[in-house]
Chain A
Amino acid sequence: MQITMRVNGDEVTRDVEPRLLLVHFLRDHLGLTGTHWGCDTSNCGACVVHMDGEPVKSCTVLAAMADGREVRTVEGMITNGVLDPVQQGFMEEHGLQCGFCTPGMMMAARALLDRNPHPTDAEIREGLSGQLCRCTGYATIVRSVHWAADHPAAAPAAAGAES
């Protein structure tokens, strides 16, 4: 079947199997490998992207269900070459180690801040409770989200962390 959607601002149209998952569509068909896959049961959140501004687990959404929608992935977090404060915050506060959960974690954090620009610790933890990370122990992720909340306009990348 043919589907059309807007991904990170660009319109894409592809022929796909009806059973194709959105996560595989993004990764295998569009080459947007920043969105990861980590489980069979919708538990890990490595696959979180935004669909019409709402966070969704892209392993639990068929590509066909995104037809006509606006999808945003980690690759679309940068705007005009400026990092999203959430991205910056994760670097500043060591919110990542292996980086595998990070794209989903950051997309979930972005969605949280869009709803609630100044969340408390408890609200951050709850907002990210659908996300698993095996590396960080979450405390630095909580700090990263606070950093982003405290710096709504992202600063230039800090020393030692420019690309």
Chain B
Amino acid sequence: MTTVEKPPYERPIGYGRLLRKEDPRFIRGKGNYIDDINLPGMLYGAILRSPYAHARIKSIDVSAATSLPKVVAVITGKDLEPLKLAWMPTLSQDTQAVLATDKVRFQGQEVAYVVAEDRYAARDALELIDVDYEILPAVVDPRKALEPGAPVIRDDKEGKTDNHIFDWESGDSAATDAVFAAADVVVKQDMYYPRSHPAPMETCGCVAQVDPIDGQLTLWATTQAPHAHRTVYALVAGLPEHKIRVIAPDIGGGFGNKVGVYPGYVCTIVAALVTGKPVKWMEDRSENLMSTSFARDFHMHGEIAATKEGKILGVRVNVIADHGAFNGTAQPSKYPAGFFHMFTGSYDLAAAHCKVTGVYTNKAPGGVAYACSFRITESVYLVERMVDCLAAELGTDPAELRLKNLIKPEQFPYTTKTGWEYDSGDYEVTLRKALDKIGYSELRKEQAEKRQRGELMGIGVAFFTEAVGAGPREHMDILGLGMADGATLRIHPTGKAVLGVSCQSTGQGHETTYAQIVGEELGIPPEDIDVVNGDTDRTPFGLGTYGSRSTPVSGAATAVVARKVRERARIVAAAMLEASADDLEWEKGRFFVKGDPERGKTIQEIAMGAHGSVHLPDGIEGGLDAETVYNPPNLTYPFGAYICVVDVDAGTGKVVVRRFLAVDDCGTRINPMIIEGQVHRGLTDGVGMALMEIIDFDEQGNCLGGSFMDYLLPTAMECPDWETDFTVTPSPHHPIGAKGVGESATVGSPPCIINAIVDALKPYGVRHIDMPATPGRVWEAIQKGKQATA
């Protein structure tokens, strides 16, 4: 279903373009980020990190550091051992060192924690800590890590004699082999989705304060999941959960970087307990890039089978997943490779199978981050590259090949060969809209002319389906916590509302979007609704924001709780109007008596009435407040068609993304301005991934992407003026039909750009180029092609 968006309202009550409620504080410099928090007597923490990727710690001498003026304490792993805090559980049921005691296992690993009176003194003290290391051979390549005789990284684990973490499969291997055996055409391609980093502009950090009298711990932290973090602290540190308050104030971007529980948070809590003073810890940029949740690092071998007419039959994939030194990926427990088994993409296949092997290496832990929808980034990249490889093999247009194979609207709900149930979609309409809008056939003509002149222009097409809003809790949990979300809605007597949600904004504009959902359901204007998130004392339990789950889960909870309020309001209104509740009709903001529209009460009048003297029927307690927990029945499946145009300089290998059109379908659209912003952000990730970003390592395991000089992020110069459009296919099972959009463009854009680059390089016979397609790599591919054709 395609609809045309209504023109912007001045100030809509409900859905529509609404300027953000959070902006007035941000544009005045009055945001409240972690590093803006200053408490009386506050001390500063700093972390000493390992310079080596793999080394045994022979001794640590902190005496010189401790005797430095202004230094209050130096904490090492040995100090944490008696507290049973030297190790902590990860979100993947592994363990991770808080401060290393036996060995360091990646460069940048936490070794000691200094507490001092100011941040400069804390840094000075780091220089004075003397650690005696015995350097061990580092394991950098995950394929080598699996070879017999490779140094064992996790010898802390009893009986561990290799670096293998898990093998995981999805789909039907025998059926897939049969399809491949019978297929006319099989195309194979190795590809590497490089290790990258979410790199939010605000690094990770926290402030911990312990009340000496009642033992209450307050932790202000850069967290996308305050409630989940609180539970983890309760479990790790044995602190009573009701004595822990986690506050996420304004967060300067997350993108999955702020899902994990990092050693720095734990050390800061310990430091506050030990010193009795509030302690602040804030990473510097290198610490952020070198030690916190990286993303991707998937070595993939893909195969695609088709008939010679271009009907795609099957896809199979083998993956070596580099998880670093500790298995610290954040995803539902059942799925060690996240949602990678979405690799069947948007196509109707006869069979599919994947096998993923997780491996330890001497690198930072992490893996699921960076707007990846639990590894759907990797899966969409894989399938969209494979489809293009197939198109090249068959000599077909990549858009035509997709149109031929997309799942048809009448096939929804569609169950994939790896078990996902796609809720709704009309893929062909969306792809055709993109092709029309960008002028695909004219672009192909332009390209042909340019090729004649020896100019390299490429057109990339990608189609993606996402699975977001994790998830039904019988299938999805993190550390045993089901992925449901709560909402509470308080309606004050004057009709002003306060909504509490368990998800956490990291810039997405939740204060605005959720106020609009409440406004749509209750007719209360947005300025009369405050949205509270990020404080475990003021919001209901829930698992937080990542995997584009805020709108699908917390947004649903918000609609449901607002509807509960409305049903209460109906009863109160009936009492006020001396009518039967069944005889009342609702229009946005007001109940009235059927057939007598003049006789009615506004939601504000009803709110006052609910606290007033009107006689309410038995069983109704008064007040309109309500709460709910929303357990999603299924995930939601946003999708989109992306097309871009690149120009490649044959002399230098430099790629310029000239145009990029994203046609997204995220179901019901709450605030189109915010949606557009979310899409723009993800498209920029695509430019970063495809052209610039990589966290690489040398043979000794030295991180080569540890600063913004080395880990290149897109600036305004590399980004085109994004073009966007949309279709609307509501989710049938979501209370408001919304599907979530936060990560769509991050998922869909990298293959689109790589497809365009490969398309540009077609005259040189290039079939694939790994990300990032830096000028050097592109230039090399051109030279190789020249040699081959010479």
Which A residues contact B (CB, under 8 angstroms)?
Answer: 17, 19-20, 24, 27-28, 31-41, 43-44, 46, 73-75, 77-78, 83, 87-88, 90-92, 94, 96-103, 106, 121, 124-126, 128-142, 157-163
Which B residues contact A (CB, under 8 angstroms)?
Answer: 10-11, 18-31, 33, 35-36, 38, 118-120, 198-203, 250-253, 255, 284-286, 506-509, 526-527, 673-674, 676-677, 680-684, 707-709, 713, 715-717, 719, 721-722
Q: Say yes or no: B201 contacts A97, CB within 8 Å.
A: no
Chain B residues in 8 Å Cβ range of A88: 27
Task: Please indicate which of the listed interface residues B198, B673, B681 has the most CB atoms of chain A within 10 Å of its own CB.
Answer: B681
* Cα–Cα, bound, A97→B202 (Å): 13
Chain A residues in 8 Å Cβ range of B681: 97, 134-137
Chain A residues in 8 Å Cβ range of B28: 34, 74-75, 77-78, 87, 163
Q: Say yes or no: A142 contacts B716, CB within 8 Å.
A: yes
Describe B's contact surface by its main secondary structure: loop
Q: Say yes or no: B708 contacts A44, CB within 8 Å.
A: yes
Q: Say yes or no: B285 contacts A38, CB within 8 Å.
A: yes
Chain A residues in 8 Å Cβ range of B120: 17, 19-20
The residue from A24, A32, A39, A128 contacting B285, defined by CB atoms under 8 A apart: A39
Nearest residue in A to B678 (C-beta to C-beta)? A97
Q: Say yes or no: A132 contacts B713, CB within 8 Å.
A: yes
Q: Are A137 and B683 also in contact (CB < 8 A) when A24-B119, A33-B29, A94-B677 are?
A: yes
Chain A residues in 8 Å Cβ range of B721: 121, 139, 142
Q: Are A135 and B677 also in contact (CB < 8 A) when A41-B707, A129-B717 are?
A: yes
| A and B contact pairs by CB, cutoff 8 A, 12 listed | A20-B120, A27-B35, A38-B203, A44-B285, A90-B23, A91-B19, A97-B681, A100-B507, A103-B29, A135-B253, A140-B677, A160-B19
In the A-B complex, the 5 residue pairs with the closest CB atoms? A34-B29, A98-B507, A100-B252, A99-B26, A137-B680
* Cα–Cα, bound, A77→B203 (Å): 26
Q: Say yes or no: B707 contacts A96, CB within 8 Å.
A: no
Nearest residue in A to B250 (C-beta to C-beta)? A99
Q: Say yes or no: A36 contacts B202, CB within 8 Å.
A: yes
* Cα–Cα, bound, A131→B713 (Å): 10
Minimum distance in angstroms from B108 CB to a CB of chain A = 13
Apart from the given pairs A74-B29, A75-B29, A98-B506, 4 other A-B contacts in the complex at a CB distance below 8 Å: A34-B29, A87-B27, A97-B681, A140-B680
Minimum distance in angstroms from A29 CB to a CB of chain B = 10
Q: Are A138 and B250 also in contact (CB < 8 A) when A33-B36, A39-B707 are?
A: no
Minimum distance in angstroms from A113 CB to a CB of chain B = 15
* Cα–Cα, bound, A89→B598 (Å): 43
Task: Please indicate which of the listed interface residues B673, B677, B717 has the most CB atoms of chain A within 10 Å of its own CB.
Answer: B677
Q: Are A91 and B716 also in contact (CB < 8 A) when A74-B28, A136-B681, A140-B677 are?
A: no
* Cα–Cα, bound, A14→B252 (Å): 30
Q: Say yes or no: B508 contacts A97, CB within 8 Å.
A: yes
* Cα–Cα, bound, A109→B260 (Å): 35
The residue from B36, B200, B251, B719 contacting A138, defined by CB atoms under 8 A apart: B719
Q: Are A163 and B707 also in contact (CB < 8 A) when A135-B681, A137-B681 are?
A: no
Q: Say yes or no: B201 contacts A40, CB within 8 Å.
A: no
Chain A residues in 8 Å Cβ range of B21: 160-161
Chain B residues in 8 Å Cβ range of A27: 35-36
